[in-house]
Structures are given as C-alpha cells and as structure tokens.
Amino acid sequence: MGSDANIERVLWTEEEISGRVAELASQISDDFRGSPVPVVVVGVATGAFLFIADIVRKITLPVAVDFIRAESYGSGTESSGVPRISSDLKIDIGGKHVILVEDIVDTGNTLSSLISHLETKGASSVSVCTLLDKPARRQVHFKLVGEGKFYRGFECPDYFVVGYGMDYDELYRNLPYVGVLRPEVYK
Ligand code: IMP
C-alpha cells in the first residue's frame, strides 16, 4: 500500500475507498438512469482528481466530464473564507443535471459558492458527491438545486487529512489512501 512517515494513521485504505466509490457510482447510475436530461460530472480541482477519475469509470451512464477550480486555502490548513472561482467550466451546463464531485466538505464555504455559481449558469439540478464529509466543522449550510441529491463516501472525524487527492501544501495527493497528517508537519 505504501506509507509515509508524516502520516499519523490511515483512516481509509485504498481497498476501502475503492469499495465505497463503487457503491456511490452504482447509486448515482441508478438515480440518473433513463434521464432525458444530460448529466455532467464536474470535479473540483485539484483535490477531486483521483475520486472523479475512479467514480466516472464505474458510472454506467453516458456522462460528460468537466472541472472547476475554487481557491480558498492558500497553503495552510484553515479555510480562508469565501472562495473565488479561479477556473470555470468548459461545458455549457444550461438545463443539465450537474453532479459536483468534491474531495471533502469542511466549512461548506467552497461547496455553497460552487452550487450558487452552477445555479446561475442554469443547471437544471445540482447534486453533490463528496468522498468525505466533516460535519463537525460546518459553518455554511448549502442548498442543492432542483432535484439534486447529496452523496457522501465517509463521515470524516475532525482531523486534517491528506491522500487520495487531498494535499497539504500541494503534497501527499498521490497517496492511495486517506490518512491523518502529523500535526508537527503544519504547526
Ligand atoms: P470548505 O470550503 O471549508 O468546505 O473546504 C473545502 C476544501 O478545503 C476541500 O475541497 C479541500 O480542498 C480543503 N480541505 C478541507 N479540509 C481538508 C483536509 O482535512 N485536508 C485537505 N484538504 C482539506
């Protein structure tokens, strides 16, 4: 599996993640099967790059794929408030079902800005599929659009985690598992 000296403990192994991703993909496939409205899966860069790559390969429906980027964190471990959309979609999502794929929902600021942005672009619904959800730290209660649904892989305890796409200062994204970063690394 590979390990890193700066990881205090592994929360979800590669196998556990892959099993859960398959379950989420099958739920999404069931929920959107036969939809007359096109489905667009939108990954939030960079953190969702592995999750979206894995989940779209297990979704058994025709879907378009695009990315969006929102900046909020800088290089620290605390959110710096309302994020800014720094790279927008290429695909026109007007009248389509959007499934926003996130690595982790923490304060909820990023998600709520992204959802409003996608709503102003005319999405017929906005669903969210996040690998991890840290409800303990929620500040903003986001509202889905239309018939949008909320999918989540795992509930994450209140630790700063890295791996499977998630970083600290742009490192650790390539770890195949999700683990807790030793606090000495960022203190
Ligand atoms: P929010 O706006 O506070 O919900 O933050 C969401 C974004 O912050 C996520 O998409 C991640 O990129 C980043 N983030 C939040 N918590 C963590 C964490 O524990 N590890 C790594 N990145 C995190």
Q: What is the CATH number of the domain that holds 84?
A: 3.40.50.2020
What's the first-to-final CA gap in the chain, in angstroms?
27
Q: How many domains does the chain have?
A: 1
71 lies in a domain?
yes
Which residue range is the domain that position 52 belongs to? 14-159
Cα 1 to middle of ligand 1, angstroms? 24
Pocket, ligand 1, Cβ cutoff 6 A: 44, 47, 72-73, 79, 102-111, 160-162, 166
> What would the pLDDT profile of 75-123 be if each residue is shown by its tens digit?
566 666 678 899 999 999 999 999 999 999 999 999 999 999 999 999 9
pTM of the model: 0.94
Closest atom of ligand 1 to 46 CA is 12
Helices (H), the chain: 14-32, 49-56, 109-120
> What would the pLDDT profile of 47-66 be if each residue is shown by its tens digit?
999 999 999 999 999 999 99
Q: Is there a contact between 127 and 40 (Cβ–Cβ < 8 Å)?
A: no
Tokens of 30: 């069931």
> What would the pLDDT profile of 24-37 be if each residue is shown by its tens digit?
999 999 999 999 99
174 lies in a domain?
no
Please confirm whether the linkage preceding 46 is cis (ω < 30° from 0). yes
100 lies in a domain?
yes
